[in-house]
C-alpha cells in the first residue's frame, strides 16, 4: 500500500513565548518541522502534507524549496479536525501516517514498524508508550488485551487515569477509513474538540483490529511545548549523536560537551575535544583531531590534520597533515593544501594555499592564491579591499613574505621572491628578487624626549 504522511503543525505554541512559530524553533540547528519532514521522506513520502495555522507564512517561506502539500487549518478545532482539512489531498486508497511538527525525534525504524502493521484497509496501527507518569496524555483502553479506544485525560474516569499506557498521537490509518470516518467525528467531549483519537473507538465498533506498536525509546515520542522541553530534547539528541560517533570509533572526550548540528562523516581514530561544535556537512579524515572549543561548519579536513583549540572553520577545505590554530579563522572559500600551517590569529578568506605553506601568526589572507612552500611573516595583511572592490594577491612558490607586510592588491609576488620586514608592497615583485618598501632609518641628533613638568 502506498504511503502518505500528514504532519500536524497548526498549534500556536504559546508556551514558547517566542515570535518564532513553534515548529520553526531549532533543534540541532534545524527547525523542529525539518526533522519530521526528513523522517517522512526517509519513509518514502514524496509530498508530505503539512497542516499549518499560526505563523504559516514564516513556516512556508522557510520550506519553500521543498515538495510539500500545505493545508491551512484556520481554526484549531482539534486533532481530528486537523486531519479532516487534509482529506482533499489524501488519495482514496493507500495508508496515511500522522506525525506532529513538534515531535521532532521520532525514529524512522519505529515508524517503519508502525506502517508494517497496516497492510490493508482492515487494520490500524497506533504508537503507544508506557509512561511512569502519563498525566495529560490520552490513555489506551484495552479489553481482553486488545486496544478498544482512547480516552483523553480530561474525559477520563479515575480508573482510566490509572492506565499507564499512553497515546503518543502517532498513528497509521488506511485512507479509505479516514475518508469514511473523519466526517463522522463529534466534538461532544470535555474540550469541545474533534478528537483524532476517536478513530480507535470507531475501528473497534467496525471490527477493524488496532495494533499497538511501541517506540524504542521514550524521547522519540516526546513533544516540545516550551524552551525547557526544547533544551531537554536537544541534550538527549546530542547525547545520542555522540554515542553513535563513539560506537563508530570516534574519541569524544566529553559527550556532554559536543554539539552536532548537521551530518558528520569521519575516518578512523578521529578525536573531538570538549566544546566542539560541528555544523552542516562536516567531513573528517583519519586521525583528525579537533581541539577544545572549535566550531567547524560545512568543511572537509584531511587525514592527520590537527585543529588546535578555539579555531573557527566555515565552508573551507583543509588537506592532510595540516596544523590549524589555536585561534585560527578559516572563512568561506579557503582551500588549504596538505601540510599547511595556520597559526594563532590568522584569518583566511577565499584563499588558496599550496602544500607546506605557512602563516603562523597574526595575518589576514583574503582573495589570495598562494603557492607551495611559502612563508607568510607574522602580522602580514593582504589589502584586498579598496572600499568598493576586492582585488587578488598572488604569491609564487617558495616566496618569503617578511614580517608585518601590507600586500596592496592587485599584486603579484614572484616565485622564490623575498619581501623585507615592514614592507608595503604595492608593485609586483619579480621571481627570486628581494623587495623592500619601507622608509630608510634616520638618526636625529640632539632630539630630546618630552619631559613632564616637575610637580609643585
Catalytic residues: 361
How many residues make contact with ligand UD1 (CB under 6 A)? 27
Of 110-118, 155-163, 195-203, 399-407, the segment contacting ligand UD1 by CB under 6 A is: 195-203
- Rounded (5°) CA angle 38-168-186: 110
Using CB under 6 A as the binding rule, whether residue 196 contacts ligand UD1 is answered as yes
The number of residues in the chain equals 456
Q: Is 195 in the site for ligand UD1 (CB under 6 A)?
A: yes
Contact region with ligand UD1 (CB under 6 A), list: 2-10, 155-163, 256-264, 374-382:
2-10
Which of 23, 29, 28 minimizes the C-alpha distance to 7? 23
Q: What is the DSSP letter of 43?
A: T
Name residues contacting ligand UD1, limited to 37-56 (CB under 6 A).
51
* Helix or strand run (H / E) with residue 244: helix 227-247
Segment lying near ligand UD1 (by CB under 6 A), choices 63-71, 79-87, 202-210, 418-426: 79-87
Neighbours of 425 (CB within 10 A): 26
**Cell representation of residue 174:** 488506511
For ligand UD1, the closer of residues 168 and 368 by Cβ is 168
Which CB atom, from 222 or from 273, has the smaller least distance to ligand UD1? Answer: 222
Least distance in angstroms from the C-beta of 107 to ligand UD1: 17
Q: How far apart are CA 371 and CA 83, in angstroms?
A: 61
Binding mask of the shown chain, residues 157 to 176, with x at each position contacting ligand UD1 by CB under 6 A: ---------xxxx-------
Q: Cell numbers at residue 131, please?
A: 509512561
Task: Determine which residue in the list 82, 99, 260, 411 makes contact with ligand UD1, applying CB under 6 A.
Answer: 82
The answer to whether the beta carbons of residues 347 and 329 sit under 8 Å apart is yes
Q: Is the dihedral of CA 22, 24, 25, 27 positive or negative?
A: positive
User: Binding to ligand UD1 (CB under 6 A): which residues in 365-404?
Assistant: none
DSSP per-residue codes, 386-432: -SS-B--EEE-TT-EEPTT-EEESSEEE-TT-EE-TT-EE-S-B-TT
- CB of 102 vs ligand UD1, minimal distance in Å: 5
Using DSSP's 3-state secondary structure scheme, residue 140 falls into: strand
Nearer to ligand UD1, 153 or 424 (CB): 153
- What is the three-class DSSP state of 187? coil
Q: Within 135-154, which residues bind ligand UD1 (CB under 6 A)? A: 137-138, 150, 152
Shortest distance, position 328 Cβ to ligand UD1, whole Å: 43
Beta-strand pair 368-370/381-383:
unpaired
Distance of CA 344 to the CA centre of its chain: 28
Q: How far is the CB of 101 from ligand UD1 (least distance, A)?
A: 6
Among 21, 98, 102, 405, binds ligand UD1 (CB under 6 A): 102
CB proximity list for 58: less than 8 A, separation 6 or greater: 20, 21, 24
Counts for the chain of helices (H) and strands (E), in that order: 8, 36
Pattern 197-236, binding to ligand UD1, x per CB under 6 A? Answer: x-------------------------x-------------
Residue 10 sits in the site that holds ligand UD1 (CB under 6 A): yes
Binding site for ligand UD1 (CB under 6 A): 8-11, 51, 73, 76-79, 81-82, 100-102, 137-138, 150, 152, 166-169, 195-197, 223
Amino acid at each position: 500500500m502506498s504511503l502518505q504522511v500528514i504532519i500536524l503543525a497548526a498549534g500556536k505554541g504559546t508556551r514558547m513565548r517566542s515570535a518564532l512559530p513553534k515548529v520553526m524553533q531549532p533543534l540541532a540547528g534545524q527547525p523542529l518541522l525539518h526533522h519530521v519532514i526528513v523522517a517522512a521522506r526517509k519513509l518514502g513520502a514524496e509530498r508530505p502534507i503539512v497542516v499549518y495555522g499560526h505563523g504559516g507564512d514564516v513556516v512556508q517561506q522557510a520550506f519553500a524549496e521543498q515538495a510539500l502539500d500545505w493545508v491551512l487549518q484556520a481554526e484549531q478545532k482539534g486533532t481530528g479536525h486537523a486531519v479532516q482539512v487534509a482529506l482533499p489531498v489524501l488519495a482514496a486508497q493507500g495508508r496515511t501516517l500522522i506525525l506532529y511538527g513538534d515531535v521532532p525525534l521520532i525514529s524512522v525504524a519505529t515508524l517503519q514498524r508502525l506502517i508494517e502493521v497496516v497492510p490493508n484497509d482492515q487494520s490500524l496501527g497506533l504508537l503507544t508508550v508506557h509512561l511512569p507518569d502519563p498525566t495529560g496524555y490520552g490513555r489506551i483502553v484495552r479489553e481482553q488485551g486488545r486496544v478498544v479506544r482512547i480516552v483523553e485525560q480530561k474525559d477520563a474516569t479515575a480508573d482510566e487515569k490509572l492506565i499507564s499506557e499512553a497515546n503518543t498521537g502517532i498513528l497509521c490509518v488506511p485512507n479509505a477509513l479516514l475518508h469514511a470516518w473523519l466526517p463522522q467525528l463529534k466534538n461532544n467531549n470535555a474540550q469541545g474538540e474533534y478528537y483524532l483519537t476517536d478513530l480507535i473507538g470507531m475501528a473497534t465498533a467496525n471490527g477493524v483490529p488496532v495494533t499497538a506498536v511501541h517506540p524504542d525509546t521514550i524521547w522519540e515520542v516526546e513533544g516540545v511545548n516550551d524552551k525547557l522541553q526544547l533544551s531537554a530534547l536537544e541534550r538527549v539528541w546530542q547525547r545520542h549523536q555522540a554515542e553513535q560517533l563513539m560506537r563508530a570509533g570516534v574519541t569524544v572526550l566529553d559527550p556532554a560537551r559536543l554539539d552536532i548540528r548537521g551530518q558528520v562523516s569521519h575516518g578512523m581514530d578521529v578525536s573531538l575535544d570538549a566544546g566542539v561544535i560541528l555544523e552542516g556537512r562536516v567531513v573528517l579524515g583519519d586521525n583528525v583531531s579537533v581541539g577544545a572549543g572549535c566550531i567547524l561548519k560545512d568543511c572537509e579536513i584531511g587525514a592527520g590534520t590537527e585543529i588546535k583549540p578555539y579555531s573557527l572553520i566555515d565552508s573551507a577545505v583543509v588537506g592532510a597533515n595540516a596544523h590549524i590554530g589555536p585561534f585560527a579563522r578559516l572563512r568561506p572559500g579557503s582551500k588549504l593544501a596538505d601540510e599547511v600551517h595556520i597559526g594563532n590569529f590568522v584569518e583566511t578568506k577565499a584563499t588558496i594555499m599550496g602544500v607546506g605553506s605557512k602563516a603562523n601568526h597574526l595575518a589576514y589572507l583574503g582573495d589570495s592564491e598562494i603557492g607551495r612552500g611559502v612563508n607568510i611573516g607574522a602580522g602580514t595583511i593582504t589589502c584586498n579591499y579598496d572600499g568598493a572592490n576586492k582585488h587578488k594577491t598572488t604569491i609564487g612558490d617558495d616566496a618569503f613574505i617578511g614580517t608585518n607586510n601590507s600586500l596592496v592588491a592587485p599584486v603579484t609576488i614572484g616565485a622564490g621572491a623575498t619581501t623585507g620586514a615592514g614592507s608595503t608592497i604595492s608593485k609586483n615583485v619579480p621571481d627570486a628578487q628581494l623587495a623592500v618598501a619601507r622608509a630608510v632609518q634616520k638618526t636625529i641628533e640632539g632630539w630630546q624626549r618630552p619631559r613632564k613638568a616637575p610637580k609643585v
